[in-house]
Structures are given as structure tokens and as C-alpha cells.
Amino acid sequence: MTKLALLAIVLGGTLGPGQPAVAQIFGGISNSGAVVLSNIVSDEARTLIVSAPVITASLTQTLPTRRAAASPEAFQSFILEASAASRLPAELIHAVIKTESNYNPRALSIKGAQGLMQLMPATAKRFGSINSLDPRDNILAGSRYLRWLMDYFNQNMELAVAAYNAGEGAVVKAGHKIPPYEETQKYVPKVLERYRQAAGLG
């Protein structure tokens, strides 16, 4: 499958008669150890990585290119709305977005995490996201998840942020400590430092 074809799938999805456009990407590992991505199920690409509605024309006109990040101010109203709804500091939401996607609303990780707050499809669905590539939808769902983690870990922001990156199960398994994953070990202090600086806490 060519890179051009894959890009067309991600951006354009598939259209059936009378059906909405849906982007689906399947992945797997070939016998040689190479990562395989495809828009159809095959022996080497059996795992559904992405299944999401395609961005509408009006939305694509307002979002930056896939590689470009927008200004934080472009999402400020959504962040303030999420802050009020989820009872989280707006500075913390900003810190997570900056670390997760650098304010790129179309960010897509190799693991399938999507949008500003890099929601995995299962997490997005769990917290009410309809389209993770829509900035408002993504921020509200991501903030609901972060609020849930704060409550689950008794308002311990360090553990909540660690769980946002690694999953709550990993934090519990680590004895309610930051899991011993290099990515998470770097992620937590980065988010917290950005939060503290923005909030004027040191």
C-alpha cells in the first residue's frame, strides 16, 4: 500500500451508498517484523487501529494542516469550557495538550491516539467523544477522562497524569506510583512543570 493511498484513507475515508465517510486503518506486524498499515483486513493487518468519522469540509477549512500546530488561543474557549465542566485548572488542560500534541488537532500517533489530547478510540468512546479530531469534542472528552483519573487517585495530580499517559491499570500495578516506563517517567514531570509555570506555582 503506498503512502499516498494511506494518506487518502486517513483524510478521505470510504464512502458507501448513503453511508457517512469513515476512516478505518488496520495494522499488524509482517513475518519480517515490519509494521503494516492497510485500509482492509489482511493476514498481516488484522488489528483495527483507527475507525473514526472523517472530518467534515467545514472543519477541515478551519484546522491547520496535519503537521502544523495551531496557536493555544485557538482552543482557549473550549479549554475554559472543559475546565468549568470537569473542575480542572485550565492550565493543566493546556499542559496536557501541549505535551500530547503540541496543539495539533489532527495529531495521530502510531498507536492510534487522536487529536489534541491524544485519545485512544476506546477511551474516547468511554468518555463521550463522537469525533476525536474535532477540537471541542476532544478537549471535553479528554478533560472528562482526566477528571475521572483525579478522582480515582484521590486528587493526586502526579498519579492522574501518569495514568493519562500509561493507563490507570499501570499505575495501580506499580503500587500507586509512576510506572517504570521511560516515556511515562519523562511525561509526568514535563506536564507538571508546564502546569506549574502556567499557574504561577513555581
Sequence-distant (≥ 6) Cβ neighbours of residue 10 within 8 angstroms: 23, 25, 50, 108
Number of H-type helices and E-type strands within the chain: 9, 3
Cα 83–chain centre separation = 17
Q: Are 86 and 144 in contact (CB under 8 A)?
A: yes
Dist CA 37 CA 15 (whole Å): 19
Quick check: is 100 catalytic? Answer: yes
Quick one: CA dihedral 11, 99, 167, 173, positive or negative?
Answer: positive
Catalytic residue chosen out of the listed positions 73, 81, 91, 100: 100
Dist CA 108 CA 140 (whole Å): 18
For 188, half-sphere exposure in the C-beta direction (CA atoms, 13 angstrom radius) is: 20
Which residues are known catalytic residues?
100
